[in-house]
């Protein structure tokens, strides 16, 4: 299980921290949304517009199936990856899974200016973040081997916390 999957809400820092974790470990870094955009040549927003959320989720699951089993890689997943039971199972068997926990309040602040995420292009963004959090927080916890609470920490400190947590919960 020599790979890491970072899971958590939009805006929790999966991409930024994943890149740093990969760099310090000398591992590959892969970002699900970026990979899907690169392969399709269009934005995630465009895929949601044309294929709907279901079409995007199919692409996400296909990519996960492809990535599972890959060694020495850090993956930044999309925030909705835990919605499908199949994905949760694939994640847990595919590597160490780390939930980056950030409160909905802080997420709302971080995502205030976002124009990239289709689910947030709504009038009441805070309410959407809150309801997605209520639905997904239990799924992230159910899927993760390790939960790291990140509120207000610097990226460097967050990476240290994650590494410390991982070495304290080695796979049996
Ligand atoms: C989504 C999160 C996004 C992206 C898509 C849907 C979600 O990824 O996959 O907009 O359902 O939470 P990030 O978590 O990297 O923003």
> For residue 172, what pLDDT is reported?
54
Q: Measuring from each residue's beta carbon to the nearest atom of ligand 1, which residues come in under 6 Å?
A: 10, 14, 33, 44, 78-80, 117-119
Within 10 angstroms of residue 73's Cβ, the number of other Cβ atoms is 18
Within 10 angstroms of residue 132's Cβ, the number of other Cβ atoms is 19
* Ligand 1 atom having least distance to the Cα of 116: 10
CA 37 vs. chain centroid, Å, equals 16
Ligand 1 geometric centre to CA of 64 (Å): 14
Per-residue pLDDT of the chain (172 residues; tens, 9 = 90+): 689 999 999 999 999 999 999 999 999 999 999 999 999 999 999 999 999 999 999 999 999 999 998 999 999 999 999 999 999 999 999 999 999 999 999 999 999 999 999 999 999 999 999 999 999 999 999 999 999 999 888 999 999 999 999 999 876 5
Residue 57 tokens, joined: 């989720």
* Ligand 1 atom having least distance to the Cα of 36: 9
Alpha helices in the chain, H assignment, sequence order: 14-25, 32-40, 44-67, 85-94, 104-110, 125-143, 155-168
């Amino acid at each position: 299980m020599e790979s890491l999957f970072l899971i958590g809400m939009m805006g929790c820092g999966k991409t930024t921290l994943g890149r740093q974790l990969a760099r310090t470990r000398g591992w590959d870094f892969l970002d699900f949304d970026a990979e899907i955009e690169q392969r399709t040549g269009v934005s995630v927003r465009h895929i949601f517009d044309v294929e709907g959320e279901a079409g995007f989720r199919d692409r996400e699951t296909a990519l996960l199936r492809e990535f599972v089993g890959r060694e020495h890689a850090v993956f930044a997943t999309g925030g909705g990856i835990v919605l499908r039971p199949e994905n949760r199972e694939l994640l847990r068997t595919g590597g160490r899974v780390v939930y980056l926990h950030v409160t909905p309040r802080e997420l709302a602040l971080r995502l205030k200016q976002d124009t990239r995420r289709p689910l947030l292009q709504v009038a009441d963004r805070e309410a959407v973040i809150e309801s997605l959090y209520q639905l997904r927080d239990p799924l992230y916890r159910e899927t993760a081997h390790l939960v790291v609470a990140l509120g207000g920490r610097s990226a460097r400190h967050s990476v240290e916390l994650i590494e410390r947590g991982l070495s304290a919960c080695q796979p049996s």
